[in-house]
Structure 1
Amino acid sequence: MSKISLDRINELKEILKNRGYKLTPQRRAIINGIIDSVGTHLTAEELYDVVKKKCPEIGLATIYRTLQLLEDTGIVCKLDFDDGCSRYELANDNEKHQHHHLICSKCGKVIEVEGDLLGELEKLIEQKYNFDIQDHSLKFYGICEECRKK
């Protein structure tokens, strides 16, 4: 996805408006940067490099503040891949849970796993422990195809 759809912009405007915020040009540029980089799981600094190309006046502090706001409003998800960096991606309203990730221990590549593979396990855990699961996160660590070929 290279551009944010008009419907999605309006949806994001509504989310922010309902929380008392505006979709400023800087916030729009940051959201567009996340969407333009879909699947890459950018750090705040990497996102800053992307956004700075189209919005040169933006500062890194604005990126951090906006990411926190977007996370608080549920527009983006903050991810931790145990590499010392927080990474961000646009939240997907169609997913009940965060999707799963494969992380290469050699090159650091992150691959998104399609579909929630833990539905049955989740039901068993909820029944056995009388526990209402709200979300889960699953990360697999290993060696990606490219690194295995080397």
Structure 2
Amino acid sequence: MSPARQRATRQGDAVREALSGCGGFRSAQDVYAVLRRDGSNVGLSTVYRHLQALVDGGTVDVIHTPEGEATYRYCGDQGSGHHHHLVCRRCGNTAEIEGRAIERWAGEVAREHGYADVDHTIELFGLCPQCAAA
């Protein structure tokens, strides 16, 4: 294994661990700030690259906030497969939710229009109980 490959693995592990320690959805800049605070010498472009690799590998979910910002959440250890999220607009607290009715609806719409291999993303945003009470 080349030294560049080893460094990329260490950096990828650092990005994954920083994200998993954040809880909820966080921006690449948030992950970068955690890494810098902890003394890691990882560049922002490297953070983006590793986050995308984790998304492609299925261990990290990415959603876009209502403002259009890409945010990431580590979901790899949960083994929950396809799921959706209920996200607090204020604090970022996140609950994984199933959407059986959504899955049925998506399948029906695809069949009606003759589509195959359809995928979808559904995210719900609101205020968690703590933020709603504040």
After TM superposition, the score normalised by the length of structure 2 is: 0.70
* CA separation of 1:94 and 1:69: change in aligned 2, threshold 3 A: same
Q: Answer 1 or 2: higher relative contact order, Cα 8 Å, separation at least 6.
A: 2
* CA separation of 1:142 and 1:61: change in aligned 2, threshold 3 A: closer
Measured in 2, the distance between the counterparts of 1:119 and 1:56 equals 41
% identical equivalent positions: 25
- Which blocks of at least 5 consecutive residues in structure 2 are unaligned? none
After TM superposition, the score normalised by the length of structure 1 is: 0.64
Contact 2:110 2:118 in 1 (8 A): no
Q: Match of 2:103?
A: 119
Structure 2 SS opposite 1:103: strand
Q: Match of 1:18?
A: none
Structure 1 SS opposite 2:99: coil
- The RMSD of aligned alpha carbons is 2.8
Structure 2 SS opposite 1:69: helix
Contact 1:100 1:137 in 2 (8 A): yes
- Which blocks of at least 5 consecutive residues in structure 1 are unaligned? 1-20
* Paired AA for residue 56 in structure 1: S
Matched, 1:146 2:127: no
Contact 2:86 2:97 in 1 (8 A): no
Quick check: which one's helix share is greater?
Answer: 2
* Paired AA for residue 36 in structure 1: G
Q: Match of 2:112?
A: 128
Contact 1:101 1:111 in 2 (8 A): yes
